[in-house]
Amino acid sequence: MNEATRMDSQNLKTKLPPEIILVRVSDKSMPNFKKIGAVQTPMNLVYLATWLDQHGHIPEIVDLDVESLSHLEEKLRCTPPYLVGITAMTPNIREAERICVLCHSLGVKTVLGGPHPTALPIQTLQDTGCDFVISGEGEKPLCELLRHIKENRPTDHIKGIAFLKNGSPVVNEWYPLIPLDELPLPDRRFLKLDLYRGETTPGVLGRAATLFTSRGCPYGCTFCASKVINQQRIRFRSMEKIFEEIDDIVNLGFNHLTVDDDTFTLNSQRVFAFCSFLMSKHPWVSWDCDSRVDAINENLLTIMKGSHCEKIAFGVESGSPRILKSINKGIDLEQVRSAFRLTRKHKILTQAFFMIGFPDETPEDIEATEKLIYEIEPDLLFLAIVVPYPGTDIYEEMIRRGLLTQLNWDSFVFFGESVPWCTEHFNGEDLVKIRKKMFLKFYFRRSYMFRKIRSIRSIREISYFIRGGLAAWRSS
């Protein structure tokens, strides 16, 4: 099918009344960063929509990060679908509840999916009033659920769903995880692509598309919820499928790829193949990715730079060896220093993820974190308060130790102004003040601002960094 034929086919699909509307609720946790265009496409919904379309259903995506709630309400009133599927992270569960209330007022059934509903299926049913929860990967259970609803058949025995029956919760066994090459290529034409023309990854200019080459992570960090769905394992897509998707992305007019795998650089041979393909087929396309500090080396960085890798984001988390050990990070400080030193040597932007507020963290541990931040001098710093997301080891630990007693989901955000939990040495108010002070001190130093000014190469970059600075200030 050529490009024109495919576009005509897709336009025909979107004119048909949807049988299911897939909704991403508005993310209330990072409103200031949206103002600089930091809104990534909801690829989880794109995968779902493509799977449903391939199996004979008519899906539509409404992304409330870039579209209005009134637009969704108008669609529901004009052509009510059989089902509304909602994806929501922990801090946006209340937003999901509002959509469920709206849908039910119009006689439309609802289903929620994602890490939070998977970790807490019964509580999600109670918190939101949704009709169904999907546990684990959504493609197969959602497709089967929609088919049964369309055919007015019982849904009780569908794998991967939870629901209330006569007021009592029922949680069915999961579907097995899908071999990723069974999935069709995600069709971004289900999105209103004109709404995603801003910079979608911090520090990188360009029209970016989000790309996944794998799902999951084999590591067991205590703060991470990846294992909630992916069961602490990693599944790879074939390189042939990835290359085909990159061709499609480029045909849609994107010139930058954000590889959003948990850790893209785990398999160096796959990275070499990825870079070689870009250099030979799309040499004008740039990209960025996430990596562990122990999964990077000189040879890898050389080919990554040669294929126009513009940024690598590293999860460091803490500058305290004691904390790194307690959270099962599996790295040491020398690996951190080496990764940032080598990446800087190859003139690739570095982003560092750090957190404060681990259950046993002391003032000395936080001092060690701040010291390491200034030692490695990342180009971009993401400094968050540890959030005990459901399904993580830290969530269970903090409940067990009485540090987390209020499940106010609205406050489960990285940049929260109100933190309704404490640690052994700090209360929530302490953590907010410490994070804000460390964050502003790093970004508004003369040396940092002078370094950024020297790196500016265009008027567009000046505008971007001004907007980014304002967003950083407001988020603190």
CATH number at residue 133: 3.40.50.280
**First CA to last CA across the chain, in angstroms?**
49
pLDDT score of 203: 73
pLDDT of residue 105: 96
Q: What angle do the packed helices 121-128 and 93-105 form, to 10 degrees?
A: 60
User: How many other C-beta atoms can be found within 10 angstroms of the C-beta atom of residue 195?
Assistant: 13
Question: Please, is 48 exposed, middle or buried when counting C-beta atoms within 10 Å of its C-beta (0-12, 13-18, 19+)?
Answer: buried
Are residues 313 and 207 in contact, defined by beta-carbon separation less than 8 angstroms? no
Can you give the pLDDT at residue 419?
Answer: 94
pLDDT at 6: 41
Is there a single domain that holds both residue 252 and residue 136? no
**107 plus 236 within the same structural domain:** no
Q: What is the DSSP letter of 421?
A: B
**What pLDDT shows up at residue 453?**
73
**Per-residue model confidence (pLDDT) at position 254:** 92
Asked whether 134 and 449 are in contact (CB, 8 A), the reply is no
Q: 154, 171, 188: which is the final residue of a domain?
A: 171
Instruction: Judge if 334 and 255 occupy the same domain.
Output: yes
The CATH number of residue 229's host domain is 3.20.20.70
DSSP states of 396-416 as a string? HHHHHTTSB----GGG--TT-
Query: Are 232 and 124 part of one and the same domain?
Result: no
Whether 212 and 81 share a structural domain:
no
Burial of 284 (0-12, 13-18, 19+ CB in 10 A): exposed
**Residue 454 domain flag:** no
Which residue ranges in the chain fall short of pLDDT 70?
1-14, 28-38, 198-200, 456-476
Residue 117 belongs to a domain: yes
Do both 323 and 259 map to the same domain? Answer: yes
Domain identity same for 162 and 257: no
CA 369/CA 385 separation, integer angstroms: 13
Q: Quick check: is 470 in a domain?
A: no
Residues 390 and 263 reside in one and the same domain: yes
Confirm whether 293 is domain-assigned. Answer: yes
Are 28 and 125 part of one and the same domain?
yes
What's the pLDDT score for residue 473? 60
Q: Is 5 among the domain residues?
A: no
Number of domains in the chain: 2
Q: Is residue 456 part of a domain?
A: no
| pTM beyond 0.85, yes or no | yes
Q: pLDDT tens, 42-57?
A: 999 999 999 999 999 9
Same structural domain, 23 and 130: yes
Tell whether 109 and 24 lie within a shared domain: yes
Q: What is the dihedral of CA 453, 459, 462, 466, to 10 degrees?
A: 160
pLDDT at 396: 96
- CA distance linking residue 261 with residue 214, whole number of Å: 6
d(CA 378, CA 276): 27
**Residue 7 in domain:** no
- What pLDDT does 35 receive? 52
pLDDT given for residue 261 in this prediction = 96
Position 450, amino acid: F
Distance separating alpha carbons of residues 359 and 424, to the nearest angstrom? 6
Residues 367 and 239 placed together within one structural domain of the fold:
yes
**Structural domain that includes position 388:** 199-443
Whether residue 407 is contained in a domain is answered as yes
